[in-house]
Amino acid sequence: MTVRVRFAPSPTGPLHMGGVRTALYNYLFARKHGGQFLLRVEDTDQTRYVPGAEDYIKESLAWCGLVPDESPWAGGPDGPYRQSDRKHLYKAYADELIAKDKAYYAFDTPEELDAMRERLQAAGVAAPAYNAVTREHMKNSITLGADEVKERIARGDAYVIRLKVPRHVEVRFEDIIRGWVTVHSANIDDKVLFKSDGMPTYHLANIVDDHLMRITHVIRGEEWLPSAPLHVLIYEAFGWERPAFAHLPLILKPDGNGKLSKRDGDRLGFPVFALDWTDPVTNEKSSGYRERGYYPEAFINMLALLGWNPGTDQEIMSVDELVRLFDLDRVHKGGARFDPEKTKWFNQQYLRMRPDAELGAQLLELLREQGIGTTLDRAIRAAALLKERATFVGDMLEGSYLFTTGSPLSGNAVAETELRKRWKPEAATAIEAYIAALKELPSFTPEALDAAFNAVLLGKGMKTGQVMPVYRLFVAGRMQGPGMFDVSALLGREEVIARLKAGLALCASWV
């Protein structure tokens, strides 16, 4: 048996990262087992269709590297892969169920349905449903005579086709993640399979397509678990072998309980979508991981661990490694709490793995945008130093002092305040001695600078902490950053000495 799995999004808006995780787990499972990963667009609900959403889904998956083997865009042996392009196909299946007495026509008007609900509510039924008991009192092909049914259909009366859920059965199936699920059929209502607008409902189209597309495993979000018993009944009604089910855990809010939503992202300042999205109706904008500067590898790695673990402490995994390690057996039952800080951490790890040459070229570009010129070689050397502290490529701009000339203290009130806190007159004598030593250094390397600095401290009987912060503020204008000997070697002798002198002059002006 070849594994065939599908991701079946509805184009009702941008793809939430929970959806990307579902696609990812499907992808990993397919790759691991040498199978196929399909994408099917489920757009039978025309009222919820959002223009642009399908392209957005396609682009999001492409950015993540989760390209389906078969899809509306790539085609494939079981196409078309967009349900609206398959709409001619579903009616025959609904009819087949009617012929098998597993489904029936229902002619009830919305008013009649409302009246039924009200009646039941008044009688104390908490969740009124169209089911094995109530259908006996409604207008359908079970209660109406065969002739009347024929007549109504011939006349063009609106009808739906409902599943005839058996009255006293226990519906059981084994979910790969959740284990055995048992639901009594009394808790399943006679769901509409085919609507009066001539379109199938999600339930019918989903099952018919999974069957026709030879899907072996249905891997989807937990929100579909309540529908699974109904789906099992539909497979049984057709007499089809059903795929295995695996319902993935919810992704939870970083704080508190409940499912992660776009509102949490807005509230706490992180994206919940892979890419930027502008709602075509409201024009409301939502930000995406791509535009925030995340690497797709980092995003995918983070998502893989949101509900699964490899059984070890390993956290950084390439897609190939994920394919090798992934298994549905290790997917958790419980909800997975999303951690935006951890997501940044992943990006930082992936940034550090990028070659200096690539980061240098990106830094050069960013500097140019800021009107700061330098050479590629210097940008690469700087990137090698700055990448250790950067989460995003843009963070390396914190090191712009490596490319400008002149004292980073001038016009920098923040640095000056910091300096006033750190400054002691003895530091001046140490810096003066250091300047003198720098002038004599045969080669201006980090090692030589380090030795010279320590020799000065030793001579003065001072500690690193008494001089280093001052040195740092004089040369870099900020307390955080790469090691000062590396920074100084990159800036060059003349510039470092000039900055140290400017710093001394500033401090001298305070007294």
Residues that bind ligand GLU (CB under 6 A): 8-10, 42, 206, 220, 224
Q: Residue 220 or 381: which CB sits closer to ligand GLU?
A: 220
Long-range interactions of 262-268: CB distance < 8 A, separation 24+: 262/16, 262/286, 268/340
**52 close to 92: Cβ distance less than 8 angstroms:** no
**29 close to 256: Cβ distance less than 8 angstroms:** no
| Cα dist from 446 to 463, 483, 487, 503, whole Å | 19, 9, 8, 21
> Annotated catalytic residue: which of 32, 87, 262, 344?
262
| Residue 474: CB atoms within 10 Å | 25
- Count of residues making up the chain: 511
Q: Residue 277 or 295: which CB sits closer to ligand GLU?
A: 277
**431 close to 499: Cβ distance less than 8 angstroms:** no
Tell me the H-state helices in 183-258.
202-212, 228-238
CA nearest to 286, candidates 11, 23, 17: 17
Q: Residue 164 or 231: which CB sits closer to ligand GLU?
A: 231
Q: Residue 42 or 189: which CB sits closer to ligand GLU?
A: 42
**217 close to 30: Cβ distance less than 8 angstroms:** no
Q: Residue 222 or 486: which CB sits closer to ligand GLU?
A: 222
Q: Residue 49 or 224: which CB sits closer to ligand GLU?
A: 224
Token pair of 360, please?
A: 């240098």
Q: Residue 38 or 379: which CB sits closer to ligand GLU?
A: 38
**Tell me, what amino acid is at 285?**
K
CB of 10 to ligand GLU, least distance (A): 4
**209 close to 40: Cβ distance less than 8 angstroms:** yes
Residue whose entry in the numeric block shows the structure tokens 């990448």: 387
CA nearest to 277, candidates 464, 11, 461: 11
- The DSSP symbol for 467 reads H
CA nearest to 40, candidates 172, 240, 209, 167: 209
CB of 330 to ligand GLU, least distance (A): 21
Q: Residue 206 or 488: which CB sits closer to ligand GLU?
A: 206
**466 close to 502: Cβ distance less than 8 angstroms:** no
Q: Residue 224 or 240: which CB sits closer to ligand GLU?
A: 224
Q: How far apart are the C-alpha atoms of 494 and 290, rounded to whole Å? A: 41
| Cα dist from 93 to 150, 235, 281, whole Å | 19, 12, 36
Q: Residue 222 or 418: which CB sits closer to ligand GLU?
A: 222
Judged by phi (left if over 0) then psi (alpha if -120 to 50, else beta), residue 411 lies in left
Judged by phi (left if over 0) then psi (alpha if -120 to 50, else beta), residue 257 lies in beta
**334 close to 247: Cβ distance less than 8 angstroms:** no
**271 close to 286: Cβ distance less than 8 angstroms:** yes
CA nearest to 315, candidates 270, 347, 340: 347
**507 close to 474: Cβ distance less than 8 angstroms:** no
CB of 129 to ligand GLU, least distance (A): 22
| Residue 117: CB atoms within 10 Å | 16
Q: How far apart are the C-alpha atoms of 175 and 12, rounded to whole Å? A: 27
Token pair of 238, please?
A: 């057709």
**Is 262 designated active site?**
yes
Cα angle 342, 345, 349 (rounded to 5 degrees) comes to 145
Active site residues: 262
